[in-house]
Chain A
């Protein structure tokens, strides 16, 4: 019977154990592979997006050619999307390495693990929402400017800009108000807690205090 048990263990239990090790290793390897690497600095997407946004605007409002106007509004749009992407990268927690960090902590309670995991999901949702909020608000503003401020824009183009502006305004409003449950929980947890107390002193007078707690 003992021999049978041993064989059973070797056949079934060991591979499972080995698999667990591999999955952890795999996650470790993936985390290294996918680690976002800035070629120059961590603001590069925001800076290059802003450059395109600036050039797109200068070009759009100075060129007389209608074809180049369209091309420049393309540059504005791509620039704003680039800025949004940069904001996303800036806020986005690197999922694999953060999960790995969480898993490699020793002596962690179930509550702590849940806190870390829910917080991570919350942060991810928040990064997505904030980048969409920024880029669609900027796009709404941009298309409105393109339609109203610029001279010699044909009525057709004006209608297109207003339509695009409207769509972006809806997206911006939605992303301002709609928070996922995870994000809601995460922001609630990290919201600073302010407290005040007044209590009678033991010997004489009263004691008063103010507390401010914020967790990151």
Chain B
């Protein structure tokens, strides 16, 4: 579970992805490519999101960008058995027909040190970059409903390490040998649909299938295993179904959404990761609040024509029922438009 995911825009971070039916905010294509026909912004944008505050920030950054040292892992084990960190950056060209974007840096780090008798380290470190193209069309627009379809296709190159080792192995083996990054690249994509009815009593509906054809997959045995760390709902194929309502007043618009994720193509419902989100926006100001069993977030974003800045706070139990450890984080997302 991470707050920051590939190509994530601000609303996506603070609603924990429960933003597939929000039409009113700017920059919603990251949430749901099927919202593309309803977006009007064009131009070039650069953005950076990162977790800036929290117990794990330093640990995550060191693991990803510095050589991993034995003393360092021992230190982590003593004061903070679980740590995670994430960041992404993006350069995006928006046109009326498609969005083209490049994520030069996209990183997620999770490390869990367990078993005091003979300390063992389970790690998931993923560094990747991506080239994305997103677009969408409005397929139906009649007196009853509007239906739009969207897609995102991306080329990715990832370096990752997802395995575990004993701390004692570090004394006999070189860190580089032990933590051997593997490489994966390929083409994958998302497809989605968005439906809204003219009768405002009926909810807006969205279905998204993410990371089709991705070579990352999470085996049940890995997810359940104590000595394996896996990020979920980031790199592997999964799907989402959402219903949402909005209420527009003269003083701003309110959006509410419930979003349910499923494994693979709507196979098993991840009932513990169902998210509810509330969003309010007025002109270029927006704020959201979201809640799921293990993760809660709150944040606000303010944009002008040339720049936008958002700050978010979140709390999570990253290992779910597996551990009671809580993580409090704060993060920033900044964007500049040219």
**Which residues of chain A have a CB within 8 Å of any CB of chain B?**
39-41, 44-45, 47-49, 51-52, 55, 59, 65, 67-68, 71-72, 74-75, 78-79, 81-82, 85
Residue contact B311 to A65, C-beta cutoff 8 Å: no
A-B CB contact pairs (8 Å), 27 listed:
A39-B283, A40-B248, A40-B249, A40-B252, A40-B282, A40-B283, A41-B250, A45-B284, A47-B251, A48-B285, A51-B302, A52-B285, A52-B300, A65-B53, A65-B330, A67-B332, A68-B52, A68-B330, A71-B311, A71-B332, A75-B302, A75-B309, A78-B302, A78-B303, A81-B304, A82-B284, A82-B285
Contacts of A68 in B (CB 8 A): 52-53, 311, 330, 332
Q: Which chain A residue has the least Cβ–Cβ distance from B332?
A: A71
Residue contact B283 to A44, C-beta cutoff 8 Å: yes
Residue contact B251 to A41, C-beta cutoff 8 Å: yes
A39–B268 CA distance with the chains assembled, in angstroms: 41
Q: Which chain B residue has the least Cβ–Cβ distance from A72?
A: B311
Query: Which B residues between 229 and 280 are near A, CB-CB below 8 angstroms?
Result: 248-253
A85 interface neighbour in B250, B305, B309, B311, Cβ under 8 Å: B305
Q: Which chain A residue has the least Cβ–Cβ distance from B281?
A: A48
Given pairs A41-B251, A48-B284, 5 additional interface contacts (CB within 8 A): A47-B251, A47-B282, A65-B52, A78-B302, A82-B285
A72–B252 CA distance with the chains assembled, in angstroms: 23
User: Does any Cβ of A come within 8 Å of B334's Cβ?
Assistant: yes
CB-CB under 8 A for A44 and B304, given A67-B332, A71-B332: no
Residue contact A52 to B302, C-beta cutoff 8 Å: yes
User: Does any Cβ of A come within 8 Å of B308's Cβ?
Assistant: yes
A48–B282 CA distance with the chains assembled, in angstroms: 6
B interface residue count range (under 10 / 10 to 19 / 20 to 34 / 35 or more)? 20 to 34
Residue contact B304 to A82, C-beta cutoff 8 Å: yes
Residue contact B307 to A78, C-beta cutoff 8 Å: yes
A40 interface neighbour in B52, B251, B303, Cβ under 8 Å: B251
Q: Which chain B residue has the least Cβ–Cβ distance from A85?
A: B304
A79–B330 CA distance with the chains assembled, in angstroms: 20
Residue contact A78 to B308, C-beta cutoff 8 Å: yes
A21–B309 CA distance with the chains assembled, in angstroms: 46
Residue contact B52 to A67, C-beta cutoff 8 Å: yes
Name the distance in Å between B247's Cβ and chain A's nearest Cβ. Answer: 12
A150–B285 CA distance with the chains assembled, in angstroms: 25
Which 9 pairs across A and B sit closest by C-beta, in order of nearness? A48-B285, A52-B302, A44-B283, A48-B283, A67-B52, A74-B309, A71-B332, A65-B53, A48-B282
A-B contact count (CB 8 A): 72
- Could you give, for residues 103-125 of chain B, a 1 whenever the CB lies within 8 Å of some chain A CB and a 0 otherwise? 00000000000000000000000
Name the distance in Å between A74's Cβ and chain B's nearest Cβ. Answer: 4
Contacts of A55 in B (CB 8 A): 300, 302
Residue contact A71 to B304, C-beta cutoff 8 Å: no
A40–B282 CA distance with the chains assembled, in angstroms: 7
A44–B251 CA distance with the chains assembled, in angstroms: 8
Residue contact A74 to B334, C-beta cutoff 8 Å: yes
Q: Which chain B residue has the least Cβ–Cβ distance from A53?
A: B302
Name the distance in Å between B25's Cβ and chain A's nearest Cβ. Answer: 11
Name the distance in Å between B148's Cβ and chain A's nearest Cβ. Answer: 20
B311 interface neighbour in A40, A47, A59, Cβ under 8 Å: A59
Q: Which chain A residue has the least Cβ–Cβ distance from B300?
A: A55
- Could you give, for residues 297-338 of chain B, a 1 whenever the CB lies within 8 Å of some chain A CB and a 0 otherwise? 000101111011101000000000000000000101010000
A47–B280 CA distance with the chains assembled, in angstroms: 14
A206–B251 CA distance with the chains assembled, in angstroms: 58
Residue contact A44 to B282, C-beta cutoff 8 Å: yes
Q: Which chain B residue has the least Cβ–Cβ distance from A56?
A: B302
A67–B118 CA distance with the chains assembled, in angstroms: 37
Contacts of B252 in A (CB 8 A): 40
Name the distance in Å between A54's Cβ and chain B's nearest Cβ. Answer: 11
Name the distance in Å between B109's Cβ and chain A's nearest Cβ. Answer: 18
Contacts of B300 in A (CB 8 A): 52, 55
Contacts of A51 in B (CB 8 A): 282, 285, 302
A85–B285 CA distance with the chains assembled, in angstroms: 14
Contacts of A79 in B (CB 8 A): 302
CB-CB under 8 A for A71 and B305, given A41-B250, A65-B330: no
Contacts of B283 in A (CB 8 A): 39-40, 44-45, 47-48, 82
Contacts of A39 in B (CB 8 A): 283
Contacts of B307 in A (CB 8 A): 74, 78
Contacts of B249 in A (CB 8 A): 40
Q: Which chain A residue has the least Cβ–Cβ distance from B252?
A: A40
Residue contact A78 to B304, C-beta cutoff 8 Å: yes
Contacts of B250 in A (CB 8 A): 40-41
Residue contact B302 to A67, C-beta cutoff 8 Å: no
A52–B284 CA distance with the chains assembled, in angstroms: 10
A154–B308 CA distance with the chains assembled, in angstroms: 25
Contacts of A81 in B (CB 8 A): 304
A65–B251 CA distance with the chains assembled, in angstroms: 33
